[in-house]
Amino acid sequence: EIVLTQSPGTLSLSPGERATLSCRASQSVSSSYLAWYQHKPGQAPRLLIYGASSRATGIPDRFSGSGSGTEFTLTISRLEPEDFAVYYCQLYGSSLFTFGPGTKVDIK
């Protein structure tokens, strides 16, 4: 079973700053099946990135994904007020899905 870990647990930043979120897999995985989601309280989660680096429909280009093997990164180039939320990486493998524990991006 592949385990995803995310770091940091919480990232305290100011609007306009750059956010770099990490997702690490316990073993090498296919980047084709690595996704990132944004989740705000009381809302449905929103798909941001699929295939490790492809932006989903309607996602602003300040969001970008990269990585391969066991190390993946979500970068928000300049934080907007609406970007403060929890971010999850997620992986498909062997017919099952798994989420990382999440990184909370909050306002400094």
Q: Which span sits near other proteins by CB under 8 A: 10-18, 21-29, 72-80, 94-102?
A: 94-102
Regarding 73 and contact with other proteins (CB under 8 A), the answer is: no
Q: Pick one of 39, 53, 70, 75: the residue that binds other proteins (CB under 8 A).
A: 39
The pairing of strands 10-13 and 103-107 is parallel
Q: What is the DSSP string of 11-49?
A: EEE-TT--EEEEEEEEEEE-GGGEEEEEE-TTS--EEEE
Q: Which span sits near other proteins by CB under 8 A: 16-24, 35-43, 62-70, 72-80?
A: 35-43
Contacts of 86 (CB under 8 A, 6+ apart): 38, 39, 40, 102, 103, 104, 105
The residue count for binding other proteins (CB under 8 A) is 26
Tell me which residues touch other proteins (CB under 8 A).
Answer: 32-33, 35, 37, 39, 43-47, 50-51, 54, 56, 86, 88, 90, 92, 95-102
